[in-house]
């Protein structure tokens, strides 16, 4: 059964001819027909016959079987261009914004044998941890359809969790892969910005530090490694992109190396962050399992000023969003979401001096994090401050009272 095997195993069986790309397309569209009406994860769905023809063309060239994602159905976050499909950014004003070509990310997925079925839903401008917009509505959590799938890659998370697609791209500025992954029992990954290249066509892309990056959501780390090897690496159109030594699929640890790994548990950052009841206990239960497998887990005492962290981050983020909206002539759009309106009003009056101070704070905070990574191989903390919320509300007003 296709549903019972990982992406790794699916790719292997497809290359051996035990499963056909046509079988995978049939399976995905069956899952979409069954689950998408209630989940609202995939938007701008391509006609099944069209995708089937693309699969048939892929099969005809025998050497395509060597591609990393041979015959794998995919749906792309509605921030990235897919030729002949709308890129809406979750905004009604862009509902007819038909892409004339693929983004770099999509080109790399297609060149590795991926078959694009449609787009995955996002909050407006991918702002926020709840996937909801005026154009398409809210995306539900596969495990409880009354709850949110998180955000901003919420459509991607629900699509993977429900097996409409085996893996998905996302993007992550401040948790947009990791938060929905946590809400849907998946793995979410935010790589170092620049590892996955992007189309940098706006002035702001040249003026601002990299805050967001494409990422990935998957059911297993092994599945994720295939996706990342398909899309990572330098591209001539992205001056910030770079190559990685080695590959994700080739990464491994010996038992001896694994036993020496050190994990630093940040928890609630010395009481500075509030979490919904049960989240810290759940995380510590998992860390205890790692300790039982001979890994060292330490409670980390650190002096990171989370108020400065928030101030520096929000200054950079709000100014970034404001400049993006201004360059896109959307700064006066009264239909923007609450989150976008907040960033717009907050970012409008941020000065260059404010930005410079934030960059200095960012550098100082980075030094403290670098020090911790000198002591530990991994730093652990919860992926979200609260469990999935009701999908009909915009955001929680308070956490645990």
In a domain, 64, yes or no: yes
In a domain, 296, yes or no: no
Return the number of other C-beta atoms located less than 10 Å from residue 275's C-beta: 20
Rounded Cα distance between 177 and 155, Å, is 11
In a domain, 333, yes or no: yes
Supply 113's token pair.
């044998």
In a domain, 395, yes or no: no
Domain of residue 13 covers 2-231
- Assess whether 254 carries a catalytic annotation: no
pLDDT tens digits for 61-87? 888 999 999 999 999 999 999 999 999
In a domain, 164, yes or no: yes
Rounded Cα distance between 93 and 221, Å, is 37
Residues 218, 314 share a domain:
no
pLDDT tens digits for 296-318? 999 998 999 999 999 999 999 99
Q: How does strand 140-141 pair with strand 144-148?
A: antiparallel
Of 103, 152, 162, 337, catalytic: 152
Of 46, 77, 119, 391, catalytic: 77
Which of these, 113, 142, 147, 85, lies nearest to 25 by C-alpha position? Answer: 113
pLDDT tens digits for 226-282? 999 999 999 999 999 999 999 999 998 888 888 889 999 999 999 999 999 999 999
Of 176, 184, 225, 337, catalytic: 176
- Assess whether 152 carries a catalytic annotation: yes
Residues 118, 35 share a domain:
yes
What's the distance, Cα to Cα, between the start and end of the chain in Å?
Answer: 46
Single out the residue in 208, 231, 254 at which a domain terminates: 231
Alpha carbons within 13 A on the beta-carbon side of 369: 13
- Assess whether 247 carries a catalytic annotation: no
* DSSP string for 113-176: T-EEEEEE--SGGG-SSS-EETTTEEPEETTEEEEE--SSSHHHHHHHHTTSSSEEEEEESSST
Task: Give the residue-averaged pLDDT of 96-122.
Answer: 98
In a domain, 145, yes or no: yes
Q: What is the pTM of this model?
A: 0.96
Residues 158, 61 share a domain:
yes
Q: What are phi and psi of 45, to 5 degrees?
A: -70, 135
Single out the residue in 214, 231, 248 at which a domain terminates: 231
Residues 369, 220 share a domain:
no
Total count of residues recorded for the chain = 401
In the chain, the number of structural domains is: 2
In a domain, 79, yes or no: yes
Residues 317, 227 share a domain:
no
Residues 330, 181 share a domain:
no
Q: How does strand 378-380 pair with strand 262-265?
A: parallel
Single out the residue in 178, 207, 231 at which a domain terminates: 231
Task: Read off the CATH number of the domain in which 86 is found.
Answer: 3.90.1300.10
């Amino acid at each position: 059964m296709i549903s019972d095997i990982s992406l790794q195993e699916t790719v292997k069986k497809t290359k051996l001819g035990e499963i056909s790309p046509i079988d995978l397309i049939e399976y995905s569209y069956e899952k979409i027909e069954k689950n998408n009406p209630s989940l609202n994860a995939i938007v701008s769905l391509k006609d099944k016959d069209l995708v089937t023809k693309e699969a048939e063309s892929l099969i005809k060239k025998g050497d395509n079987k060597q591609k990393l994602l041979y015959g794998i159905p995919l749906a792309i976050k509605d921030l990235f261009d897919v030729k002949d499909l709308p890129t809406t950014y979750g905004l009604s004003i862009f509902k007819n914004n038909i892409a004339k070509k693929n983004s770099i990310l999509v080109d790399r997925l297609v060149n590795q044998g991926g078959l694009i079925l449609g787009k995955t839903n996002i909050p407006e401008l991918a702002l926020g941890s709840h996937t909801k917009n005026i154009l398409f509505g809210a995306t539900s959590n596969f495990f409880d359809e009354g709850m949110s799938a998180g955000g901003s890659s919420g459509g991607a998370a629900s699509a993977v969790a429900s097996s409409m697609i085996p893996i998905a791209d996302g993007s992550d500025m401040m948790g947009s892969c990791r938060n929905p992954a946590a809400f849907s029992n998946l793995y979410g990954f935010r790589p170092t910005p620049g590892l996955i290249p992007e189309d940098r066509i706006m002035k702001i892309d040249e003026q601002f530090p990299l805050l967001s990056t494409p990422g990935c959501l998957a059911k297993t780390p092994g599945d994720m490694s295939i996706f990342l090897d398909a899309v990572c690496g330098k591209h001539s159109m992205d001056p910030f992109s770079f190559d990685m030594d080695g590959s994700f699929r080739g990464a491994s640890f010996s038992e001896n190396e694994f036993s020496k790994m050190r994990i630093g548990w940040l928890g609630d950052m010395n009481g500075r962050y509030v979490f919904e009841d049960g989240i810290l206990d759940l995380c510590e239960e998992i860390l205890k399992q790692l300790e039982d497998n001979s890994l060292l887990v330490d409670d980390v005492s650190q002096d990171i000023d989370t108020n400065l962290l928030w101030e520096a981050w929000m200054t950079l983020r709000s100014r970034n969003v404001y400049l993006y909206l201004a360059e896109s002539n959307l700064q006066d759009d009264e239909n923007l979401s609450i989150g976008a309106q907040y960033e717009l009003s907050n970012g409008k009056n941020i000065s260059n001096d404010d930005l410079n101070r934030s960059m200095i704070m960012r550098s100082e905070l980075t030094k403290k994090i670098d020090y911790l990574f000198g002591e530990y191989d991994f730093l652990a903390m919860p992926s979200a401050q609260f469990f999935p919320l009701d999908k009909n509300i915009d955001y929680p007003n308070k956490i645990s009272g």
